[in-house]
A and B are shown apart, each in its own frame.
Chain A
Amino acid sequence: MTDITEAIRVHAPAVSSRPSSGPWRRAWHILKRDRATLLAAAVFVLIILSTLAAPLYARYVSGTDPFRSNLSARIMVDGKRVKVMQASTEGLGLGVTPIGPTWGPQYLLGADTQGRDVAARLLYGGRNSLLIAASATVICLCLAALVGISAGFFGGWVDKILSRILDILWAFPVYLLAISLSIVLISQGIVIGPIEIGSDSLLLPIFIIGIIYVPYVARPLRGRVLSLKQSEFVLAARGLGIPAWRILLHDILPNVSTMLIVFVPLMMGLNIITESSLSFLSIGVQAPDASWGTIIQDGQTLLYTRPVVALAPGIAIVLTVLSLNVLGDSLRDALDPRTKLV
């Protein structure tokens, strides 16, 4: 080695001695120090755990079947036996009003118009809402990744055809598309050969919500792949004679994956809202099954007398979506290589 190289080595700025960390580990280091992220993660995990515990709550705490009408049931509140559906005292005194929040084990948040335990339904409904949103997110991101990355990477005719399909989906306002798909599918169900999906199946809202946002994810993915394809490091790889599939695997996919990951919590939040909206309009989860959307709909007629029926699922939605959005934002910052380690 000549003097020049020796001199260079001496003068070259020393790279810090901390062990080399990959982008994922780096992101983890940033995330676990961020309080807002930790709080959001805690809230989200808490919500998931409590909805998972729904059957336990229904059986051992509330002791009612949250999917059956309970109009004549009587429960113990403060040592007194009271009716779940109480005679109305307000207005003309006609009809019955469901019991309000008891703040006890049974009917913690009161009853709905069918005399069902709102607290138990809230947990079961949360299960459906989260399950549908999560499955739809998986479907949406898989489809979008497939379409967006192939369109961007292969270009030419593949890109033209895929982009036009996305354009067609894009041309519909999201909710219009969701509502029309739901109305058609829920009134008829789907029969594909031997597989028959009934109109009350959760697969329908999962499928519908999974489809409608595909263009919104595929488009930016395609754009990212296109810009990566033009990037100097891909050009350099091509110049080194590295085959296209290796470039896709090592240079394109790892740089797209972070973008895809950031979409997970954001799409999940969006899907929860979409699912609730559709269910609220009776074209999502079908009765007697529950979701946060259907509970809000149940609470609509009780808005003046028993606002908690609609408020409780509303608050649940806000908390979940908020925590997911915070997680999404932190994830985006943490995966951005420009973010400095503290």
Chain B
Amino acid sequence: MNAEMPVPKPLLTARNLTKNFVVGKTIRPGSGRVLHAVDAIDLDVYPTETLGLVGESGSGKSTLGRCLTRLYDITAGDLTFDGQDIAKADAAALKPVRRKMQMIFQDPSASLNPRRRIRDMLSEVLHVHRIREGAAVEERLQELMELVGLRREYLDRYPHEFSGGQRQRIGIARALAVEPKLIVADEPVSALDVSVQAQVVNLFDELRERLNLTYVFIAHDLAVVRHVSTRVAVMYLGSIAETGETDALYAKPHHPYTRALLSAIPQPHNRGKRERILLAGEIPSPLSPPPGCKFSTRCPYAKDICREQRPQLAAIETGRKVACHFPLD
């Protein structure tokens, strides 16, 4: 979809975005180690696209999502949303930003307060942002339920009275309540049954078309990402390994990690005949990432330079960036 469009202005721009956590800190001075969850990431999100963010667990994709929506404070780097610098904005300055940028969480039963009715949750959002007043509130609540495919009578129920898929719909309705431009969805379907996953993924598609939304869709399920995304960014150990248009990237991965990752997708056809790249070892600890290329410890093509010098994310063709000293053809 984006391929034929002229390059638009990004809606969200991250430059050198870094998030460190200090773990194991006690009163003793000098204690605690730095965990590099998100390590100097550059990322652009363009209007009306769906950027899929993939990576294995521990790659920092959820942390990145929470930094992009400023649920977490950022350790270093720049973050611009809709022309506004939000890297260091405080709660008050972020309030108008919250109206335009929303987050959907992985586990819908954890992201809904078990002690509140759906109506109270949603109307509080409308009230806080003064989106609707008086009778218009009720109208908007029903509209929201309608949007996510739930019956309006469900407004007066508590979260525990819903199924997982329905709860995720409520999570989506809550995010839509502020009429956002950008939604960061953090593994929105991975906690759901496979049969329900498809319905919710379709709902995402449908909503994007109806409401002109931009998504950052975080997932570890490569098939789901391929289905929803127009562009994909592959993360490994807090860094971006490769970004590109979905179809091009899936067809021809240039980063060895992307290739290994994609080879792990189960195939309905030619079972067992396709070459699978099995990576040795585990993802290294973000407490002590390798000095050179982060993938060098598991990369079958790694050379000396890979272990010493960290490759920068660089464009190798239109719309494709790879962080590798020796990109594959």
Contacts and interface: CB of A to CB of B under 8 A. Distances in A.
A2 B158 contact: no
B128 A246 contact: yes
Interface string A13-27: 101100011110000
Interface string B266-292: 000000000000000000000000000
Contacts of B125: 240, 242
Contacts of A233: 110-113
A229 B178 CA distance: 22
Contacts of B22: none
Given A12-B163, A232-B107, A255 B114 contact: yes
Given A5-B206, A236-B103, A11 B166 contact: no
B149 interface: yes
Interface string B136-151: 0000000000100111
B111 A4 contact: no
Contact of B105 (A23, A235, A255): A235
Contact of A11 (B107, B150, B160, B199): B199
B255 interface: no
Contact of B115 (A1, A7, A246, A254): A254
Interface in A153-184: none
Given A4-B206, A11-B199, A254 B116 contact: yes
A200 interface: no
Interface stretch (B1-9, B40-48, B49-57, B91-99): B91-99
A232 B128 contact: no
Contacts of A8: 149, 199, 202-203
A337 interface: yes
A50 interface: no
Contact of A12 (B106, B124, B161, B166): B166
A292 B91 CA distance: 56
A6 to B, nearest CB: 8
B154 interface: yes
Given A20-B158, A240-B178, A255 B113 contact: yes
Contacts of A236: 103, 105, 111-112, 171, 174
Interface string B109-136: 0111111110010001100110000000
Given A4-B202, A231-B110, A240 B151 contact: no
A239 B117 contact: no
Interface in A226-283: 231-233, 235-244, 246, 250-251, 254-255
A336 to B, nearest CB: 11
Interface string A299-319: 000000000000000000000
A170 B92 CA distance: 39
Nearest to A17: B153
A9 interface: yes
Contacts, number: 108
B308 interface: no
Contact of B203 (A5, A22, A237): A5
B228 to A, nearest CB: 14
Nearest to A244: B91
Interface residues of B, number: 49
Contacts of B160: 337
Contact of A241 (B94, B105, B163, B171): B94
B95 A232 contact: no
Contacts of A255: 113-115
Nearest to B103: A239
A232 B149 contact: no
Contacts of A2: 206
A15 B166 CA distance: 10
Contacts of A12: 149-150, 163, 165-166, 199
A3 B5 CA distance: 29
A27 B166 CA distance: 24
Contacts of A15: 154, 157, 161-163, 166
A239 B166 contact: no
Nearest to A257: B115
B102 interface: yes
A20 B113 contact: no
A240 B183 CA distance: 12
B146 A1 contact: yes
A48 B113 CA distance: 37
Contacts of B178: 240-241
Interface of B: 66, 69, 71, 91, 94-95, 98-99, 102-103, 105-107, 110-117, 120, 124-125, 128-129, 146, 149-151, 154, 156-158, 160-163, 165-166, 171, 174-175, 177-178, 199, 202-203, 206
Given A20-B161, A23-B158, 12 more contacts: A1-B146, A8-B199, A15-B154, A15-B162, A20-B158, A232-B111, A233-B110, A237-B113, A239-B102, A240-B102, A250-B113, A250-B120
26 contacts: A4-B199, A5-B149, A7-B199, A8-B149, A8-B202, A11-B199, A12-B150, A12-B163, A21-B158, A23-B114, A232-B106, A235-B111, A236-B112, A239-B71, A239-B98, A239-B103, A240-B102, A240-B174, A241-B129, A242-B128, A243-B128, A250-B113, A250-B116, A254-B116, A255-B113, A255-B115
Top 10 A-B pairs, shortest CB-CB distance: A241-B98, A232-B111, A254-B115, A5-B149, A232-B110, A241-B95, A20-B157, A233-B113, A8-B149, A239-B103
